[in-house]
Structure 1
Amino acid sequence: MSRIVMLVLAIVLGTSEVHAQEWKGKWIATMENQSATNTWLAYRKQVNVGQVPAHAMARIAADSKYWLWINGKLVVFEGGLKRGPNPMDTYYDEVDIAAYLKTGNNTIAVLVWYFGKDGFSHKSSGRAGLLFDCDVNGTEIVSDKTWKCAIQPAYQTAGAPLPNFRLSESSILYDARKALLQWQENNYDDKWMLEAMELGKAGAYPWNKLHLRPIPMWKDHGLTSYVNPRQFPVVSTGDTIVCELPYNAQVTPYLEVEATAGQRIMMATDNYLFYCPEISVRAEYITRDGLQQFECPGWMNGHKVYYFIPKGIKVVGLKYRETGYDAAFEGSFTSSEPFLNKLWEKARRTLYINMRDTYMDCPERERAQWTGDAVNESGQAFYALSPSSHALSKKWLFELVSWQREDSSLYAPVPAGNWNGELPGQVAASVGYYGLWNYYLHTGDKATVAALYSGVKRYLDSWVPDGRGTMKFRTGDWTWGDWGEERDMLLLFNLWYYLAVKGMHHMALTLGNTADAAKYATWMEEFTTSFNQQFWTGSAYRDPAYKGQTDDRAQALAVVAGVAGKEKYPSLLKVFQTAEHASPYMEKYVFEAMFRMGYVKEALARHEKRFTGMVNYPGFTTLFEGWGIGKEGFGGGTVNHAWSGGGLTILSQYLCGIAPLIPAYKEFQVMPQPGPVKSAAATIASVAGKISSAFVNLPDKFTLTIAAPDNTTAVVGIPDRGWRKILLGNKVVWEKGSFKKQATVAGVNNDNKDHICFKVPAGEWSFTALK
C-alpha cells in the first residue's frame, strides 16, 4: 500500500505515529514464557491516588485479551481486540476507570491471555504483553518495571482434541490446585511476584502502532441462571448436567462446587459436541479441596451447555455469563405470515451471534471475517440493530483495504495470520454497491469513503479487460463463487465486478472525482451492451463455454446490477421458478432480484420453499450454513451462519419498502411491495432516528402508516392497483389518476410505474387507498 494511503488511513482512525508517542507506559511481561501458546499472565500495581477526578481515561493494549480489576472489582470482562487493523499493528482500548478508584491506595490487577498462535481472525505478534497508560490528576498509572507480573499457573491448555487451525484461541484447562487465589484483591501479598520486564515503548516492535478500538466494549449481562435451573445443591451421580440457554449465545460457563482435589470437570456446548464440523473450544476444570468457584473466561456458543461432572462432587450452582457486541435489537418486523416473522427473528439472532471482534462467518469453527459474509451481515445490521452496530461495518471495511497487498489485491478473511487468499467475487461485492456504498447510504460517513477510495480504485484497476467490454476471468487464490453446483463463474465474477464499479461510480460523484465518475459511467454502459450481446441466449444468461445447468445466481446478479432489461424479466422468472442452485448466501440476491422485477408472490413462494426446513427446524434459534445439518449442509456446515439471513434485509427494504435515497436517511423511501401479504410492519433505528412502515393490504383497500424522524423527508409509495382515490388522513390527495392540490404533501411524478408516490416531511402519516 502506498505511503499516502497508509497516512490517510492512520489519520482517519486516529492512530498517527505522533499520537502513539504520547504514551508514557511501556509494554511489560515476565522474563519467561513470553511467546508460549496459551500463556496467562497476572499483573499487579499499587498506586496512591489523591483526589479522584470525574473521569480517568485509561488506555490499555494487550496481546491478546485482558481482564481488569480495580480494588478487587471487575471493571472489564474481556478487553482488547484480536490483532490486525493492518498486517503490522495493534488495537488499544479506552476505559474510564474513575468510578472504581478511591482516595489513597488502589490496586490495579490485570489478567492477560496471550493466544500465541495465528488464526483466521487474529495475527499474533509473537510476544505476550500489556500496555497501560492513565493520568489521574497528575498521578501516572503507567505500565513499567514497577509493576508485578507472574505466570498464572492454573491456566493451561486442554489436551486433544485441539481446536482446528482456523482458531487462534485454545481450549482452556484450569487447574485450581495451582491457582493464585484472590490475587486481584487489595490485601493480596504479592512480594513473591517479580518486577515486570519492560519490552519497549508504545509503537515498538512487534506490536507497532496502536489504533484506538473502533467498536464498543462488550455488553456484559452478568452471571445468570440457566433457562432450566435445577435445585442446588445436588451431589453428582456422574451423569452429564445439560443446561439450556434462552437462545444461541456467546457465553462463559460458571460453576460452584464442593469437591476433593484432582477431579476433572469438562464444559462444552451442544455446538462443540454435535454441530460443528471442525473441533472448536471447550473448557476443563481440575478441582482443589473444598468449596470453589470458576468461570471460564474464554467464550463459547450454543443453545445448551453440558457439564460433565464426576460422581460425588457436590454441585452448589451452575450459571453463565452472556457477553457480546454492544448493540440493541432496535429494528423490528412483523407480518400476517408466521414463516416470514420467524425467518426475520432467526436471521437477527444469527446476525448477532456472528458479531464480536469482527463480523464472523460462524462463531465456533472459524470466527473469521469472510468478506462476502460481511456484506450480507452489514446489510442486515442496518435494519435489525441500533446504530452502534455501524462501527463494526466500518471496522470491516477499513481492515479489508488496510491489508491490501503490494500487487493491489485485497483478500479475506482479515485480520488473519494464516490465510492470505483472494476471493475475487467476495472482495468485489465488499468494495462496491452492496458493501462500501451501502455503508455510506445508511451512515452518511463520507470520511470513510474518502479514506478507502484510492485503495478500492487500485484493486479495481488490477482486474484485466478482455477487449470486448467485459473482464477477463480473475481466478484469484481461491476461485470460489458459491457453495453448491452449477456455477457459471465467468458471469458471476463479471457481474460482481460491475457492481463494484457501480458503487465506485456513486462514490466518485460523492467525492467530486468527476473524471473517474465519467470513466466508470462509460464503462458500465459499454459493459451492459457487451454482456447482453455475449451472454443472453434468449431465455437466460449463459457463458457459451459453460456446460452446466443455467445458474440462478448469475441471473439474479444481472437483475440487481441493472444489467438485465425489463423485457427479459418474464424469461428470468421461469429460471427462478425452476433452477434452485444458489446456496443460502446467494439466495438473498435471488430474493431481491424477484422483488425488483415485481414478482413478489413468486419471490415469497421460492424463499419459503427453500428456507422452510431451516426456519422451522426445531431446537435452533439460528439459521444454517447450508440447507440442512450435517450431510445436508455444504461441507457439514454450521448451524449459525449469518450469510443465510439476507431475507431479513429484503423483508424490511422491499416488502415494507424502507430504504435511504440520500445518505444518512436525509431522504428515504417507504415503497412497500406487499404482494399477497395481508399486513406487515417494520421499524429501523436509522442514524436520522426511528423510521416505521406498516401496511394493511385488502382487496379493495390499502392503508399505509409511516413515521419519518425530524429533519428528514420521505417519499411514500402506494402500490398502484387501480385505486379510485387515495386519502391522507381524511383528505383526498389523489383521485382518478391525478394529484390534488393541497399544501400538506406533494405528489411525485417519477419513473416508478408500480407506485403512486408522495413526498412528506417529518412526522406520522397515514394513507388510505380505495377502489
Structure 2
Amino acid sequence: MSSTPWPEEWIGSWIWSSRPALAGPTADRPYGAPDPERFDTRVLFRRVLHLDSAPRTARLRITADSDYRLFVNGRELGAGPIRHAPRRIEFDEYGLDGALVAGANVVAVIGRFRGYPSPWWEPSPTSFTLGGGCLAAEIAIDGTIVGTDHNWRVAAADAWAPSAPRGFLVTQPDELLDARRLDADWAQRGYDDSAWEAATVLSEHSIVGPSGRTTPGGEPWGAPRRRPVPGLVGESRHPVGFAIADGGTEAWDGSALAPARALVAALLAEAPAVPAVSPGAPGALEHPVDVPAGRHLIVLDFGAIVSGRLVLRFSAPPGTTVAASLLEAPTPAALDSAALLGYICRGADDQITSSERLGGRWLVLLVDAAAGWCLDDVAVLERLRPRKAVEPFRCDDPRIDRIYDVALRTADLSSHDAYVDCPTREQRAWTGDSVVHQSVDFAANLDWSLPRWSPRLLAQPRLDGILPMVAAGDFATPEVPTIPDWSLHWIRQVQRLHLYTGDQEAVAELLPVAENVLRWFDRFAGDDGLVADVPGWVLIDWSPVQVTGRSAALNALLARAFLDVAELADALGDHGRAGRARGRHAAIAAAFEAFWDEARGAYRDTIVGGERGASVSEHTAASAICAGIVPEHRRDAVRRLLLDRDAMFTRSPLADHGSDALGPVAGTPVSVRDAPDWDTERLTVGAQPFFRPIVHEALDLLGETDRLPDLLLDWDALLDDAPTAFRECWEGGSFCHGWSATPARDLIVFTLGIRPETPGCGRMRIAPRPGRLSRVSGAAATPFGPVQVSVDGDRVEIHSPVPFTFVDRAGRETVHHAGAATTRL
C-alpha cells in the first residue's frame, strides 16, 4: 500500500439512497428524528471505473454509518468501520494493488444502517440528513482520487429482512437473506445496473452554523480518523464432525426467523444426535455433505470455540430454507443467547457469509428442501485482532503449559476491534472486563495497538463523570445504570498504559477523565473518607461479595485508583493533583481500620448502620494489599487468609444462566446477590477468574510469588467441559470469556518475573519466581523486542534488548546492560 497520505479534506461525499432512516424535524427533535420504520435497512452501491491499463498503485479509504461490506470486482475485501463513539468515526484503508485491471472495474458496497443499538454500535445524533445511514469512500489510482458522489449507483437491498433486537439483554441481531431477491452477480463486472438510481448526495444542514457541506468533517462526527488498530485476521476453521437428525414437522416457510428459532429450540431440547468428536480434534470434513429431501437438523462440531464470519455454500433447489446458529453448546439455552442466520436458496450460486461476527463451537442447521441437496462448504473465517507472539511460556508441568496456551487463545478470541467479554454471546466492550485483556497483550503481544487504544475507546464519560458500563454499544446509554467499580479498573488500564509505554501524551489526555471518575465517587464519601451506598450495580465479582452500605472491597479499589492517579499526575509534573489524590488515599487508609475484626483476624466486607457485617472475602483482603492500605502489623494475617485455600468457596449466579442451563433472561436476575448463608467465621468468599489477577498481585506484594504456579492450576478445572477456551466463572457462564485469560499474563509477569522497571520499558526488572517448577522459559513483550528468560534449576539465562535489574530469590539486585546474561537464581 502506498504511504502517500490522504488529503486532509475529503473529496468523497456522504451518499445514501433517497430513503435514509430519518423522518425529518419534529417539535422536540429540531435536527430530525430517526424513523424506526427504516431501521436495519441495507443499500447496494456500485461504481464502475474504466482504466486504460492496470494501475501502478491503487488504494481506497472508506467509512459508513452504520456498516459497510466492500467488494472489488466481485471479491469481498473487508467490512467495517470499527465500533465508534456517537460523535466520532474512523475510516479503513485498503490496498488495491493487483485488484484493478485494464478495462472496466467495479467497486461495490453493501451499506447498512442499523438504527437499533447493538452490542457494538451506538446511534449517533441526527443532523437533518446525517444519522440515518451514510457512506463515504475515496479511491486513489496512480495519484488521482475518485470519491463517492452522484455517479455511484444505488439500489435497495430488500433481499434482507429488517431485524429488531429480541430484547434488552439479547441484542445480537438475527439475519435473514432471501437470495431469490438478490442477483448473485450484483458486485461483478458486466452486471447491468442501468435500472438502479443515482446515489443521493447528503448535504449537511444546520440551524447554528454553515450548511451545504457534503463531505465528511461536519456534524455529527467531525473528520473521520484512520482506525488506530490493525485489521482483523485469522484462518478459515472447518467442522471436524457432523450428525443429522429429523427436523420435525412444525411449520416454517422461511419468511421469518422467530418460528425457526422456536423449532430449533424444541429439537435441541429433544437431545438430537451430535458428532462424537474429541475436543480440538485435527482435520476437517473433506467432502461435501449430501442430505436427502425433507427437513433435517444438522449439528456440526468445529472441535473448538471459533469466532468470525460464518460461510455456508449449498447446492440446493430454489426455495430451500436454512436456519443456522453457531452455539457454545447444542442446547436451547445456548440458542437463547445466540443470533440466528436465515437463508432462502435461489437455486444457483448459493453462498452466504454472515454480516455479523459469530462465535461458538457447534453449528446447528435446520434445512428444509424439496429434493436432495448438498452442503458444499462450511467454514468460519476467523476475524481476531492480530497477535505478534513472543516465545511461549514453557515449564516442566504440561498442565501449566496448556493453561498458558488456552489463556492466550481465550484472549485472542475475545479481542476484535475492542476487547470484548466473550465472542460467543454479547461481544460488548465492557469497561472493566478489558483490564485483563490489556494486561495479557502488554505481556505477550508485540503489537500494542489494541492495548493502547482500549483505554481511549472506553474514555467516554457520562455527564456526571463516571464511565458507562460499556463503550460504543447498547448499554452505553445513560438510561442504563453503570457498574461503578468498572471505572476504577479502567483507571488501572490507564496506569498500565503509562507503565508499559511511557506515553505522557496519552496520560495527559486521559488523566482528566480519571480525576472526574474519582470526583464522582467523592459525592458518596462520608466524613471518614469512605464511600457508602454508591448507586448503580456494584459488582466487584460474580462471587457473593457483600457490598451493602460501606463496601470494603469497593473502598479498597477506590484507594488503589487514587494511588494510580497520583502516580500518573506525578509523571506529568502535576503535583497539586497528585497531592490531592494521595490525601484521599490516606483518608481511606485511616478509615479502613473500621472493617478490621481482630477476633476473626480479617477485614469484614461491609459496614451497615455503623455495624460490621459478617462476610469475609479475599476480594477485600487482596484489594486492600494492592491499595497499600494494610498496616504492616496486619499483613501476616492477610497473607494467611489469602493462602488458606481450603477456606475459600465460590458461587456464581451464572451457573443458572449458562448455555448448559437457563438462557440469559430466565430465572433469578444475575444482579441479585446471595446474602451470607455460609459459615462466615470459617469460610472466605473466593474470587472468580475475573478478580484473581488482583489476588495474585496481592500475593506478589506479600512476597508469595512462588505460590502462583500452583494457584494457576485452578484453571485446569475450567477445561473439563470447555477444553479449548476458558469459561467465565468456576461455575458456569459463557464458554469463552476474555477476563479468564489472566494466566497468560501472570506466568510472564510473576513466574518468569519480567515487568517494566521504568515507564516505557527502558529498563526492565527480572525476578523469576518459579516456585516448585524446576524449569521455566518464555518471553515478554517490550517496544524494543522480546525479553527472553530461561530458568533451569538455579541457572538463569536472559536475553534483553534493554538494560535490566535482576533480583534473585534472596532479594539481591544486580544491574545489567542490554544483551545476554547468565546468572544464578
User: What is the TM-score normalised by the length of structure 2?
Assistant: 0.78
Aligned to 1:502: 563
Distance 1:286 1:467 in 2: 62
Q: Quickly say closer, same or farther: Cα 1:391–1:291, change in 2 above 3 A.
A: closer
Q: What displacement does 1:430 show? A: 1.0
Q: Is the 8 A contact 1:163 1:279 kept in 2?
A: no
Residue 261 (structure 1) aligned with residue 327 (structure 2): no
Q: How does 1:182-197 map to 2 (within 5 A)?
A: 182-197=185-200
Residue 761 (structure 1) aligned with residue 784 (structure 2): no
Distance 2:454 2:231 in 1: 16
Q: Is the 8 A contact 1:276 1:638 kept in 2?
A: no
Q: What displacement does 1:225 show? A: 7.0
Q: Deviations along 1:80-111, whole A, 9 cap, x unmatched?
A: 11231xx3232222223344233453221111
AA in 1 matched with 2:797:
T
Q: How does 1:398-547 map to 2 (within 5 A)?
A: 398-401=456-459, 403-418=460-475, 419-420=477-478, 421-431=481-491, 434-464=492-522, 466=525, 470-473=529-532, 475-488=534-547, 490-532=551-593, 535=596, 537=598, 539-542=601-604, 543-544=606-607, 545-547=611-613
Q: How does 1:228-377 map to 2 (within 5 A)?
A: 228-232=284-288, 234-236=290-292, 239-245=296-302, 247-271=304-328, 273-274=330-331, 276=334, 278-290=336-348, 292-310=350-368, 312-330=372-390, 332-377=392-437
Q: What displacement does 1:373 show? A: 0.5
Q: What displacement does 1:683 show? A: 1.1
Q: Is the 8 A contact 1:486 1:548 kept in 2?
A: no
Aligned to 1:95: 94
Q: What displacement does 1:137 show? A: 4.2
Q: Deviations along 1:47-104, whole A, 9 cap, x unmatched?
A: 234676654443211122222122233322x2211231xx323222222334423345
Q: Secondary structure at the match of 2:603?
A: coil
AA in 1 matched with 2:66:
S
Aligned to 2:656: none
Q: Is the 8 A contact 2:388 2:445 kept in 1?
A: yes
Q: Is the 8 A contact 1:429 1:497 kept in 2?
A: no
Aligned to 1:25: 12
Distance 1:536 1:628 in 2: 30
Aligned to 2:687: 582
Q: Is the 8 A contact 1:122 1:168 kept in 2?
A: no
Distance 2:288 2:710 in 1: 49
Q: Deviations along 1:356-401, whole A, 9 cap, x unmatched?
A: 12211122332111111011111111123232xx322333212332
Aligned to 1:683: 779
Distance 1:51 1:445 in 2: 46
The structure richer in strand per residue is: 1
Unpaired stretches in structure 1, ≥5 consecutive residues: 1-18, 630-636, 721-754
Distance 1:115 1:536 in 2: 54
Q: Deviations along 1:17-46, whole A, 9 cap, x unmatched?
A: xx9971122211112364633322210011
1:198 equivalent among 193, 201, 216: 201
Distance 2:237 2:157 in 1: 23
Q: Secondary structure at the match of 2:561?
A: helix
Distance 2:239 2:466 in 1: 48
Aligned to 2:704: 599
Aligned to 1:617: 720
Q: Is the 8 A contact 1:127 1:206 kept in 2?
A: no
Q: What displacement does 1:209 show? A: 4.5
1:717 equivalent among 807, 812, 819: 807
Q: Quickly say closer, same or farther: Cα 1:581–1:715, change in 2 above 3 A.
A: same
Distance 1:295 1:119 in 2: 19
Q: Quickly say closer, same or farther: Cα 1:166–1:122, change in 2 above 3 A.
A: farther
Distance 1:51 1:469 in 2: 77
Distance 1:20 1:458 in 2: 36
Q: Secondary structure at the match of 1:585?
A: coil
Q: Secondary structure at the match of 2:764?
A: strand
Q: Quickly say closer, same or farther: Cα 1:255–1:367, change in 2 above 3 A.
A: closer
Count of residues paired in the alignment = 692
Q: Is the 8 A contact 2:55 2:101 kept in 1?
A: no
Q: Quickly say closer, same or farther: Cα 1:155–1:273, change in 2 above 3 A.
A: farther
Aligned to 1:79: 80
AA in 2 matched with 1:590:
V
Q: Is the 8 A contact 1:251 1:321 kept in 2?
A: yes
Aligned to 1:165: 168
Q: Quickly say closer, same or farther: Cα 1:83–1:386, change in 2 above 3 A.
A: same
Q: Is the 8 A contact 1:228 1:243 kept in 2?
A: no
Q: What displacement does 1:223 show? A: 7.6
Aligned to 1:177: 180
Q: Secondary structure at the match of 1:716?
A: strand
Q: Is the 8 A contact 1:72 1:184 kept in 2?
A: yes
Aligned to 1:154: 159
Distance 1:370 1:638 in 2: 15
AA in 2 matched with 1:640:
C
Q: What displacement does 1:405 show? A: 2.4
Q: Is the 8 A contact 1:303 1:620 kept in 2?
A: no
Q: Is the 8 A contact 1:281 1:364 kept in 2?
A: no
Q: Quickly say closer, same or farther: Cα 1:158–1:369, change in 2 above 3 A.
A: closer
Q: How does 1:358-397 map to 2 (within 5 A)?
A: 358-387=418-447, 390-397=448-455
Q: How does 1:554-703 map to 2 (within 5 A)?
A: 554-576=620-642, 577=644, 578=647, 579-600=684-705, 602-608=707-713, 610-614=714-718, 616-629=719-732, 637-697=733-793, 702-703=794-795
Q: What displacement does 1:603 show? A: 4.6
Structure 1, 267-276 or 476-485: larger mean CA deviation: 267-276
2:44 equivalent among 38, 42, 45: 42
Distance 2:399 2:443 in 1: 19
Distance 1:180 1:546 in 2: 70
Q: Secondary structure at the match of 1:453?
A: helix
Q: What displacement does 1:484 show? A: 2.2
Q: Deviations along 1:660-686, whole A, 9 cap, x unmatched?
A: 011221101110122222222221232
1:68 equivalent among 61, 67, 70: 70
User: What is the TM-score normalised by the length of structure 1?
Assistant: 0.84
Q: What displacement does 1:167 show? A: 6.0
Distance 1:444 1:600 in 2: 26
AA in 2 matched with 1:113:
R
Q: Is the 8 A contact 2:461 2:468 kept in 1?
A: yes
Q: Is the 8 A contact 2:311 2:352 kept in 1?
A: yes
Q: What displacement does 1:513 show? A: 1.2
Residue 219 (structure 1) aligned with residue 233 (structure 2): yes
Q: Quickly say closer, same or farther: Cα 1:525–1:279, change in 2 above 3 A.
A: closer
Root-mean-square deviation (Å): 2.8
Distance 1:130 1:466 in 2: 48
Structure 1, 480-489 or 584-593: larger mean CA deviation: 480-489
Distance 1:393 1:271 in 2: 27
Q: What displacement does 1:246 show? A: 5.5
